[in-house]
Chain A
Amino acid sequence: AQSVAQPEDQVNVAEGNPLTVKCTYSVSGNPYLFWYVQYPNRGLQFLLKYITGDNLVKGSYGFEAEFNKSQTSFHLKKPSALVSDSALYFCAVRDAAFSGSARQLTFGSGTQLTVLP
């Protein structure tokens, strides 16, 4: 079975400071990893994904994420936070084998990011 853990329910950061939102995962095979953002009363918006190759992936709105296989982590980062980044962030994983129950994405429980002006 595949699973995702987001250990922090809430992250607060001052505007202009770097931010990190943590994610660890568990799959039986190789992972495909995704970050999504959700604004109030809206669906999820795709930010970035790791499939293979370079461990540092860049995505929308200046976000990036670092894949660490040994630590089974995929933390989301941004060098300088904006107030408009305040939202709910979800990490998701899918087993690259994509068979059986692994066809769907499994999401973490989310981290509420608040960027303080």
Chain B
Amino acid sequence: DTGVSQDPRHKITKRGQNVTFRCDPISEHNRLYWYRQTLGQGPEFLTYFQNEAQLEKSRLLSDRFSAERPKGSFSTLEIQRTEQGDSAMYLCASSLDRVNSPLHFGNGTRLTVT
């Protein structure tokens, strides 16, 4: 079962450093989503790709955050000049190109900014 894969699983970084996370979606899924989840909360939408096009970005996605999906397959999420408030679980999900398709989530990357 080749589900959604995220790397790394955990990342500890010092404030001010840049970090990059990778997501490999299910191969036949052309929609890819990034969500952020903090302790005790539900996932919050960050951004969404259809193939290589980034169609929507949340206001949560400050200018320190950038996401790419260069060939419509894997995606990267970069956070520049990390802050302690960036500490969270970053979840990637993918789905088929149908509005009622469920999202399939990876196991997430847990970021800790010290």
Interface membership of chain A positions 35-55, coded 1 if the CB is closer than 8 angstroms to chain B and 0 otherwise: 010000111111001010000
Q: Assess whether B48 is in contact with A46, with CB atoms less than 8 Å apart.
A: no
Give the total number of A-B pairs whose CB atoms are below 8 A apart: 61
Interface residues on A, range: 20 to 34
Q: Assess whether B110 is in contact with A103, with CB atoms less than 8 Å apart.
A: no
Q: Which residue of B lies closest to A34 (CB)?
A: B102
CA of A34 to CA of B105, assembled, Å = 13
B contacts, CB < 8 Å to A: 4, 6, 33, 40-45, 48, 55-56, 58, 91, 93, 99-100, 102-108, 110
In the assembled complex, 13 residue pairs joining A and B whose CB atoms fall closer than 8 Å, in A order, are: A41-B110, A42-B107, A43-B91, A43-B106, A43-B107, A43-B108, A49-B102, A90-B43, A101-B56, A104-B56, A107-B42, A107-B43, A109-B41
The 9 A-B pairs with the shortest beta carbon distances in the complex, nearest first, are A107-B42, A43-B105, A104-B45, A98-B99, A46-B102, A44-B105, A51-B100, A43-B107, A109-B42
